[in-house]
Structure 1
Amino acid sequence: MSQPPRKRVLIVTYYWPPSGGVAVQRWLKFVKYLRDFGWEPIVYTPENPESFYDDHSLLKDFPSNIEVIKRPIWEPYNIYKWITGRKGKKLGLGFADESGKKGLATRLTIWLRGNLLIPDPRIFWVRPSVKFLRRYLKQNPVDAIVTTGPPHSMHLIGLELKRKCNLAWLADFRDPWTNIDFYHELMLTKPANWYHHRLEQRVVKNADGLLVVSQQMKREFDNLGGKNILVLTNGFDSDDIPYSETLPDNGFSICYVGTMNSARNPIVLWQALSRMCSTNKEFAQKLKIVMAGQIDISVTNTIKSLNLERNFEYLGLLPHDKAMELQKSSKVLLLVANNTPNAKGIITGKLFEYLAVGKRILAIGPSDGDLAEIIRETGAGDVVGYDDVDNAIQTLTRYFNLFEQGELDPEPKGIEKYSRKALTGRLAEILNQITNE
């Protein structure tokens, strides 16, 4: 008996391999598994995006014969680089320079970005994309459109295609829009702030369905009038977990993989580690702080100021497969939620890979947030508040004692629902729902 033909879904995403980073992986993994649930994905993405780094290890996840449409994009980043003296360099947006401060030129470009490039610098890709995709869709019909942001200008493409082509549209919010942690840093005028909120409301109210990554985000978009809101967290792909023997680290290694800006600098942890090293020689000898990814200068300055430099190793940017091996070999995996007003709704995507490799997780963030709920539910680790140094010391002391006894690794429970394949099944369900209404 022949299988029914797959429905077709057009996915509009700024981030796509060979660009690296967690923003790429969410929809790369959905695309990897959508065919298993009766959907044929077509990807629309920029030909020449501004990418902080490339990760060719992600290319292995491409399903065979997936259609990927790439179109040129113009972005004002060359102007930004010229103004700030960074011509020829990759951007690390939101990061301070080596002095730990944002200079006048950087502050000027942030003001211009927030007030003139609304909702973000990719706005210039919206009109040509809508024009191209309207022609494409006439010849290559699809059953649904998905847009994923940030950058939230991708949603404006979906908004126009919804209006002009009357197709089912699913808007995916990997991060909030006006409630994102750096929104207050954009130095917005009242008209610009109003326009950001107006565009956000238009997207939320016109999309046939919304995807968000946390319960807190769901409540926020409920208040904005969204419908068919599904919490679809990030997850882990079993294919990414190293199964071969990874040489374990002999020291008491605390590992962080990912981006750490100044708002994510876990000062409470560095203070706790510094005090423990000053009172426990054995702990000081065995402690290793290993970090990989994009780390703000404020983080390394704090580590140095608390005399932890000799325990610290920075590995720079790692391809995804190497990052997985590092996590597998470490003793404690560090997670940090940005210390910002929206912290309760932040669930960093790295959490799910941490769960899959089966190592003890130490999270810094609100004890009543969505991140803490998942860690308690799975029994994978502990959450320490941003200012609770005593709790951090108690937790780390317990971890170190378990490490000495060879009993540090937890046994996480109920993590199967966070597998990328299971999450794609839930995605297919909402796509079926919005296309059958």
Structure 2
Amino acid sequence: MTKAPKKVLIVLYYWPPAGGPGVQRWLKFVKYLKDFNIQPTVFVPKHPHYPIVDKSLEMEIPNHVEVIKSSIIEPYTLAQLFSKKDTQSLSKGIIKASKNQNFIQKALLYIRGNYFIPDARMLWIKPSVKRISKLLDQANFDAIITTGPPHSLHRIGFCLKMKYPNLPWIADFRDPWVNIGYHKDLKLTPSSVEKHQQMENEVLASADHITVTSPTTQKEFQKKTEKPVSLITNGFDDTDIVTELDEHFSLAHIGTLMSERNPENLWQVLVELIEEDEHFKNNLELKFIGQISQNIIDSLKSFDLQKHSTFLGYLPHKDAQQQMFSAQVLLLIEKDMTQTQGIIPGKFFEYLQARRPILGIGPQNWDVAELINKHNAGSAFNYHEKDELKVQIKTYFKAFMKGKLEVKSKDIEVYHRKALTEKLVEIIN
């Protein structure tokens, strides 16, 4: 006799046609849950303000999944009345350095940080709790899952847990909360910082299980709660991409590149190698796929690297993957700060799948650096390791000139989306 599938309600903000990394994790979990006899129902906003749109992802929504849409008030839509350009940049996470901010930019950051706690989607909390409560009263769900950021969705989970204490609740953190890197840019007052800490503590204490995407965040939360905290990283899915490698020595970065992700040690090394080696000068190509901060573009110009740079903007997911698979070297860049040690970008796992050498630049004790070494997937450096970085790029270039630039990654199958879904299912059951 076939056992009836478990029913799980998943509360999401990012859902197709949203683009970017935030949508991938749960779109893929939902795809594979049915293979483990779990029936997901997805609760998402209706007409949301997505900073990045990728309609191609709508084709990946499984037919068996019920999608419930609920109206949302988006403050970013109203903020555009003051400055459409600044609002769009803020919603995409592209924040200028403090010294370069004008009055409107500073005001938007202050308002966002201190009047919208935990984030700009806080106005969706009460109506969602009301709508989901009706769903829970009408149907029997075996568990509810919330995922953030935006961490307002965890507040939805918290409120529902207060009303339905016997309903298991899993809180999935794709990024940290109070220790997330951009909090310092939001001009938070002491009382706002305290409110974030209080809300995070309530969620960590009330959820039945917490899932995180990096070892550092797992250790951080394990110190804050007695509830189980499980590590389920992001991953990669099957792909049919077959492409030839770029003819030039291409260093490709896929994804948003914010102001503070500006590896000047890398730009300096590239300039030196251009001056030292005519072959390097004639073959170097920097490729940027995704949203790029103007600060980064200005920095490249200051090093006279714009002539070697190609800016392709945001591409549909499969097109971005093709750029990954064809690149000679894949760049992975993170902010140089303690709060980002536990940030493992979702694209890292697709980089692994592409099996091209990964060149990471980030903070000391970065989780990514450990993974790169563990899987023999490339090399990683901090922002102060200029000489070591130069040696590595020269090594890559010599191999490129001989037609032998490759990487032999190992043991990456554990990051397949189906294998990761199986870990989630163990928690649900």
- Normalised by the shorter chain, which TM-score bucket? over 0.9
Q: Which moved more, 1:45-54 or 1:12-21?
A: 45-54
Q: Take 2:344 and 2:97, find their aligned partners in 1: how far apart are those partners?
A: 29
Q: Report deviation, 1:84.
A: 2.6
Q: Report deviation, 1:59.
A: 2.1
Q: Take 1:348 and 1:98, find their aligned partners in 2: how far apart are those partners?
A: 22
Q: Take 1:199 and 1:136, find their aligned partners in 2: how far apart are those partners?
A: 25
Q: Which residue of 2 aligns with 1:66?
A: 65
Map residues 2-21 of structure 1 onto 2, 5 A cutoff.
2-21=1-20
Q: Report deviation, 1:131.
A: 0.6
Q: Which residue of 2 aligns with 1:248?
A: 245
Relative to the length of structure 2, the TM-score reads 0.96
CA 91–118 in structure 1, closer or farther in 2 if over 3 Å, else same: closer
On the 8 A contact 1:100/1:297 being kept in 2, the answer is no
Q: Report deviation, 1:78.
A: 2.5
Could you say what secondary structure the match of 2:256 adopts? strand
Q: Take 2:250 and 2:120, find their aligned partners in 1: how far apart are those partners?
A: 39
Alignment of 1:216 onto 2:210: no
Q: Take 1:203 and 1:99, find their aligned partners in 2: how far apart are those partners?
A: 31
Describe the superposition over 1:276-321 as per-residue Cα deviations: whole angstroms up to 9, x where unpaired: 1111111010000001101111111111111111110000110000
Q: Take 2:202 and 2:12, find their aligned partners in 1: how far apart are those partners?
A: 19
Alignment of 1:110 onto 2:109: yes
CA 195–90 in structure 1, closer or farther in 2 if over 3 Å, else same: closer
Q: Which residue of 2 aligns with 1:435?
A: none
Unaligned runs of 5+ in 1: 433-437
Q: Which moved more, 1:92-101 or 1:205-214?
A: 92-101
Q: Which residue of 1 aligns with 2:321?
A: 324
On the 8 A contact 1:367/1:383 being kept in 2, the answer is no
Q: Which residue of 2 aligns with 1:40?
A: 39
Describe the superposition over 1:189-242 as per-residue Cα deviations: whole angstroms up to 9, x where unpaired: 22111111000000011000001111110111112114110011110012x351
Map residues 301-340 of structure 1 onto 2, 5 A cutoff.
301-340=298-337
Q: Which residue of 1 aligns with 2:343?
A: 346
Relative to the length of structure 1, the TM-score reads 0.95
Q: Take 1:98 and 1:367, find their aligned partners in 2: how far apart are those partners?
A: 22
Q: Report deviation, 1:102.
A: 2.1
CA 358–100 in structure 1, closer or farther in 2 if over 3 Å, else same: farther
Report the AA paired with residue 119 of structure 2. Answer: D
CA 68–122 in structure 1, closer or farther in 2 if over 3 Å, else same: same
Report the AA paired with residue 172 of structure 1. Answer: D
Map residues 10-409 of structure 1 onto 2, 5 A cutoff.
10-86=9-85, 92-96=91-95, 101-166=100-165, 167-238=167-238, 240-242=239-241, 244=242, 246-366=243-363, 368-409=365-406
Could you say what secondary structure the match of 2:390 adopts? helix
Q: Take 1:180 and 1:127, find their aligned partners in 2: how far apart are those partners?
A: 24
Q: Report deviation, 1:248.
A: 2.1
Unaligned runs of 5+ in 2: none
Alignment RMSD (CA, Å): 1.8
Q: Take 1:260 and 1:89, find their aligned partners in 2: how far apart are those partners?
A: 15
Matched positions, count: 428
Could you say what secondary structure the match of 2:34 adopts? helix
Q: Take 2:87 and 2:341, find their aligned partners in 1: how far apart are those partners?
A: 38
Q: Take 1:86 and 1:189, find their aligned partners in 2: how far apart are those partners?
A: 26
Q: Take 1:185 and 1:290, find their aligned partners in 2: how far apart are those partners?
A: 28
Report the AA paired with residue 102 of structure 2. Answer: G
Q: Which residue of 1 aligns with 2:426?
A: 429
On the 8 A contact 1:58/1:320 being kept in 2, the answer is yes
User: What's the % identity of the aligned pairs?
Assistant: 41
